[in-house]
Amino acid sequence: MNLTSPREVREIMERFGVTTKKEYGQNFLINDAIPRRIAEAACGSDGGVCVLEIGPGIGVMTRELSALSEKVLAVEVDASLMPVLDYTLSDCGNVTVLNRDILDCDIDELAMSAFGEREFCVCANLPYYITTPIIMRLLEHGGKRLRSITVMVQTEVAARLVAKPGSVDYGAITASVSYHGRASRLFTVSPGSFLPAPKVTSTVVKIELYRDDERPVRVCDYDTLRRVIAGAFGQRRKTLENALSAAFPELGKERVGAILQGVGVDPRTRGERLSVAEFASIADAITGNC
């Protein structure tokens, strides 16, 4: 079985009466080098890891993950692909497939039921429209045992995930990712590597998550930090003072300005110029205690 052969992919889809669905951003990999490369990036060199795969499709990357890991839990939202996955993964005894929407799942609980107390990593091919919600859900609800997130995303999204403060691509998702871990761009994947071929280039990014004892930035209250970041980028053309005054109406503009000055941030600057450490300082000043 060669799941990167366009002919075999079409035959399998015809056999089970399924088609690619635009609403799920389905584009199946047909470049045989890419699935193994992504799986190796996700699993690392040690082997024996546990993997949560989001969106296995017809199972091309799932098979590679199965060969490199101890156990794989694949979560697929498209119910029509379940018979396909039963067929393509029939010889992968360490793979469990669930027909669920990952955004409706308690990820920490899901991982606990599949992997017990073991640490795990995430591997996913994410469509553009759902990338940020899924990454944020993983970062905020993945639990302490989630060690890394390896994702293939649209190249423009990848640029935002790894951007530096002050750059045009820096945004709320960048700051949020920076608080939780280190994001690095690994390699690009051309449109011709997919069936059907998308109109955009994809990039694989890996986010290595901090353990509690190695986190470089800490906050008294994470919900306040999230609110600060969302407010700072919610109205990018506004000064930080005005943007945060709108996000924290209970404080008022004068109090917000005083808080910003108190932590050494110019109230007239804009959110895209601040590091995650500066956002954390603002959040702690708003919280007032730890």
Note the pTM of the prediction, 2 decimals: 0.94
Contact by Cβ (8 Å): 69, 51: yes
Fold match between 6-214 and 222-287?
A: no
Q: Where are the domains of the chain?
A: 6-214, 222-287
Taking CA atoms, 283 is separated from 142, 151, 161, 178, 231, in Å, by 23, 29, 22, 15, 11
Structurally, at CATH architecture level, domain 222-287 sits in Orthogonal Bundle (1.10)
Look-up of token digits 């996955």: 85
Identify the pLDDT of residue 46: 67
- pLDDT of the residue at 196: 86
Q: Residues 204-256: pLDDT tens digits? A: 999 999 998 899 999 999 999 999 999 999 887 899 999 999 999 999 999 99
Q: In one letter, which amino acid is 273?
A: R
Q: What angle do CA 142, 88, 187 make, to 5 degrees?
A: 55
Q: How confident is the model at residue 100 (pLDDT cuts 50, 70, 90)?
A: very high
Q: Which fold has domain 6-214?
A: Rossmann fold (3.40.50)
Distance of CA 108 to the CA centre of its chain: 15
Please spell the DSSP secondary structure of the chain, one letter per residue. Answer: --TT-HHHHHHHHHHHT----GGGT--EE--THHHHHHHHHHHTTT---EEEEE--TTSHHHHHHHHHSSEEEEEES-GGGHHHHHHHTTT-TTEEEEE--GGGS-HHHHHHHHHTT--EEEEEE--GGGHHHHHHHHHHHS-TTEEEEEEEEEHHHHHHHT--TTSTT--HHHHHHHHHEEEEEEEEE-GGGEESPPSS-EEEEEEEEPPGGG-S---S-HHHHHHHHHHHHHTTTS-HHHHHHHH-TTT-HHHHHHHHHHTT--TTS-GGG--HHHHHHHHHHHH---
Q: Say what the pLDDT of residue 48 is.
A: 79
**What percent of the chain stands above pLDDT 90?**
86
User: pLDDT digit string (tens) for 167-208?
Assistant: 999 999 999 999 999 999 999 999 999 988 888 999 999 999
Token pair, residue 54, equals: 């989001």
- In tens, the pLDDT along 116-137 reads 999 999 999 988 788 999 999 9
